[in-house]
Amino acid sequence: MATSHLFVCIILCTYYVAHGGDEHGGFATVLTSRSFQPEAAVCSTSRGGLLRCSRARANYITSQGTVTTLAADDGANVTIPAHLGGSVESLEYVVTVGLGTPAVPQVLLMDTGSDLSWVQCAPCNSTACYPQKDPLFDPSNSSTYAPIAGGGSQCAFAIEYGDGSHTRGVYSKETLTLGPGVTVRDFHFGCADDQDGSNGRYDGLLGLGGAPESLMSQISSARFLALGGAPPAGANTSGGFVFTPIRVEVATFCMVNLTGISVGGKQLDIPPAVFSKSKGMIIDSGTVITELPHTAYAALRSAFRGAMSAYPLILPPPNQGLGTCYNLTSFSNVTVPTVALTFDGGATMELDVPDGILLEGCLAFQESGPDDLFPGILGNVNQRTFEVLYDVSHGKVGFRAGAC
C-alpha cells in the first residue's frame, strides 16, 4: 500500500503568482483574493462591519471547542495562489475555481474553518438566494453533475451558522477544476437553493477543514495543495519551514499549542498555565484579528503600548474588537516593534512589520474571552506573507516567512 502524504500550503500574499502544471504531476494555479466569512453572513460591506462579522465568527469558532487533523487519498500536485485585495475589497480570501463540464468559473470563500463546500445553484429565486455578481451555477448545463442519492431520493444538506443564518439544498457531486488540466472528479458539494444572509461578493464556499466532506479529505493524499503561491522548491517539505504539531481532537479546525510571545525581541512573562488552560490556538483563514487568552493579550498590549509610547493613542473604532489604536498620520517614519509567536517544538512566527501587526493603525490582536479558558485564534492579518504548510500525514503545520 502506498504511503499517504498530503501537504496543504496556504500563502496569504499581496499579488498573484502563477505556475503551470498538468493533471498527473507539476502544479496548477487558481487566482485568489479576499472576501468574508459565512458564520456572520448578514454583514455590511464596510471595514467596521466586516470586523464585527469576523468577531462573531471567532466567537462561534471558540464556542465549538477544539480542533483538527486533515484527511486525504492519492494523486497529483495542485497549487492555488492567493493575494490580498482585488475586486471583492474586503478582509478575507476567495478562490476562483471551475465547476461542471464545461467548467463554469465560481468565486468561492476560502475557509479553513468549514468543511462542506457549496455554491448557489439555479433555479433559485431572489427571495431564496442572495444576489451575486456571477450567474448562478446551473447543473442542467453540466454533463457531469449528479445529485447524491439517499434513502431512495436526493440527499439534502443543511448548514446552520453561528449567527442563525443557513445554507440548504441538494448534496451533489460534480467535476471541480482547480487549474489547467487539474480536476477533481466526483467532488462532493452542496448545490444550494435556500440561503439566509450573505451577499453577492462570492458564489459559494470552499471548505478546507478536516472532516470527510471537505476538499482536503476528497483530494489525494500523495498531493501537494498550495493555496496562495508557489510550492516549496524541490520537495513538499522543502527547507525554511518551522513546524509545530497539530492537535488531533476535532476534525474541522486546525489547532496548535502557543507557548510564548515576544515584543521587540523580549519574551513576555506569561505563565505557561495561561496557554495550557486555553487548550490551544486555532489557525483560521476566515478570522481577521488574532485572539489571545485574556492574560496573554493583556501582556502583549502592555508591552506593545510601552514600545509605541512615542505615538499618540486614539480611541479605537466601536464594536470592532480593536483595543490599541494610534494616529500615525503626522509621522513620516514610524518604528513598530517586532512581535513573534512561539509554538510547541520552538516554531516561531516573527510577524511581518507593520502589515502583520497593525491593521489601519490598530494592533491586530484582541482577547478571546474574559478569562484564560477560551482558545486563541490565529487570524489572517498575522499570517500575511507567510507560507502555512499543513503536513497532514505527519500531523504538523509549518510556517515560512517571506512568501510574498
Over residues 246-292, the pLDDT tens digits come to 887 666 778 899 999 999 999 999 999 999 988 889 888 778 899 99
Provide the pLDDT for residue 226. Answer: 58
Any residues with CB less than 8 A from the CB of 359 and at least 6 apart, and which? 288, 289, 322, 381
The residue among 9, 43, 44 whose CA lies nearest residue 29 is 9
CATH, domain range 7-227: 2.40.70.10
Same fold flag, 7-227 and 242-392? yes
Supply the residues annotated as catalytic: 111, 284
Provide the pLDDT for residue 170. Answer: 94
DSSP code, position 222 = T
Averaged pLDDT of the chain: 76
Provide the pLDDT for residue 299. Answer: 98
Over residues 98-155, the pLDDT tens digits come to 999 999 999 988 888 788 999 999 998 777 888 888 899 999 999 999 999 876 678 9
Provide the pLDDT for residue 199. Answer: 62
Over residues 378-392, the pLDDT tens digits come to 988 898 878 888 777
Cell reading at 342 = 512561539
pTM (predicted TM-score): 0.70
Predicted confidence band of residue 238 (pLDDT cuts 50, 70, 90): low
Whether 368 has a pLDDT exceeding 60, the answer reads: yes
Whether 314 has a pLDDT exceeding 70, the answer reads: yes
The highest-level CATH class for domain 242-392 is mainly beta
For the chain, which residues make up each domain, given as ranges? Answer: 7-227, 242-392
Whole-angstrom CA distances from 334 to 192, 203, 275, 318, 328 are 48, 40, 32, 25, 8
Provide the pLDDT for residue 76. Answer: 43
Strands in 229-309 per DSSP E: 242-245, 254-256, 258-263, 266-267, 281-283, 290-292
Provide the pLDDT for residue 48. Answer: 54
* Percent above pLDDT 90 for the chain: 38
